[in-house]
C-alpha cells in the first residue's frame, strides 16, 4: 500500500563505529495528494519508522519500502539524498 510520495528535503545519517551501517532520519516533503504534508523516516540499517507530521504511519515489524519515484529502484537508507523523488510503501508483516 502506498503510504507517501514526495521529495527528500533532508537526510541526516551517522555511521556506527565498528559496524557497516548508518542510522539517522530523513524528511520528505509531500507531492500530489500528499502536498502540504511531511513524512519523517527513521532508520538504522533499514527503515524502522514512518510518520506523517505527528501521526505514526508504520513501524517494524512491518516492511517500509522506499523506491525512487521515476525508476522504481529501491533506495536503501544510506543512499538517500536531498532532492530525490520517492514513493514510500508499507507491507504488513505476517500474523
What count of Cα atoms within 13 Å lies in the side-chain half-sphere of residue 55? Answer: 6
- Which contacts of 17-20 are long-range, i.e. CB under 8 A and separated by 24 or more positions? none
Q: What pLDDT score was predicted for residue 14?
A: 85
User: What is the value of pTM for the model shown?
Assistant: 0.90
pLDDT in tens, 1-49: 999 999 999 999 887 777 777 889 999 999 999 999 999 999 998 999 9
Q: Is the peptide bond before 61 cis (omega within 30 degrees of 0)?
A: yes
58 CB-near residues (< 8 Å, 6+ apart) = 3, 49, 50, 64, 90
Q: How far is CA 61 from CA 43, 48, 51, 90, in A?
A: 13, 8, 15, 11
Amino acid at each position: 500500500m502506498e503510504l507517501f510520495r514526495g521529495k527528500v528535503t533532508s537526510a541526516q545519517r551517522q555511521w556506527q563505529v565498528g559496524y557497516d551501517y548508518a542510522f539517522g532520519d530523513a524528511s520528505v516533503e509531500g507531492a500530489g495528494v500528499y502536498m502540504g504534508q511531511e513524512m519523517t523516516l527513521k532508520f538504522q540499517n533499514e527503515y524502522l519508522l514512518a510518520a506523517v507530521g505527528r501521526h505514526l504511519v508504520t513501524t517494524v515489524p512491518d516492511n517500509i519500502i522506499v523506491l525512487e519515484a521515476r525508476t522504481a529502484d529501491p533506495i536503501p537508507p544510506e543512499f538517500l539524498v536531498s532532492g530525490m523523488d520517492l514513493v514510500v510503501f508499507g507491507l504488513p508483516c505476517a500474523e
